[in-house]
Structure 1
Amino acid sequence: MAHRLTDEEKLTLKTGAFGAVFLVVNADPGILALFRESFAAAGVMTDASGVVKEALTSGPLPRLPRDSAADIESVTLPALRRAVEILTEKAPEEVPVYRSVVLAAADRTARAHDGVSPAEAEAIDRVRGALGADATGR
């Protein structure tokens, strides 16, 4: 059965996912345009299906704050929590898919720069907490 998410719901999923990566990178503004490609290139989308894949690969890029980690977090963590609520309501079988894609993307992003720093590991832990995932990411 096809589950339809509204454009706003899709953007919430995307804001949480891309924000999670952004939080890890705490990047310069130029990197935002690379997110869609890096999600695909990292191979994390191969596990995604249906609703999650559609939400993360279609539509506009989310607008994320760039001023500080705290600002990014203030948008990202609520978006992740809301994304899990949306999926729980509309496509519960997709919740573990979303969690694993977001965590894999955040983890691969952290590893891309000389291994995972303590600050990056802490950011990933906050993302995991917002997703309501346990230590295994499920």
Structure 2
Amino acid sequence: MPTEAIESLIKKLSPLMEEDSEIFRELAVFFGDNSKVQTHRDDLSKFLGRKRLYQVLRFTGESYKDCVYQLVDDHPESMEALGMLRYYTSPSKKIDWEQIEHAEIALGKELTTNAYGWMPDAWTAFEGTEDSSEKSPSLVAILAFDYGD
């Protein structure tokens, strides 16, 4: 979906969200047209539910799996999230799909001991660029929390 259409949908679903906020920018990236795994608009509407607080976490590591372990170990509050969208970025033009699969399996195994029910729970991936200064795999996790009444 083109960036303009995604930004318009975010504004429609969450009219009070600041366009220059980190969460707005990251949602536009996640649902943007450069994603290598198809994302779904329905996930956006679920994510932007009523009475939500948002957090963006960024990780780089030796592998995507390393990034997942940083998420689980360093941010246990993420297990309390209502929804999690995450994207992996390759340090090069070639995405290592097998390594992303290992990371997602590791995430699932780490969470079996926790009661979690993220809705939505979605991921995608992006190619790096040849001129990127980032030489390590990275993970961005976008979390939605309930802020109550």
Both structures adopt the same fold (TM-score exceeding 0.5): no
Q: TM-score, length-normalised on structure 1?
A: 0.36
Q: Which structure features the higher share of strand residues?
A: 2
Higher percent of residues as helix: 1
Q: Report the TM-score, using the length of structure 2 for normalisation.
A: 0.34
Larger radius of gyration: 2
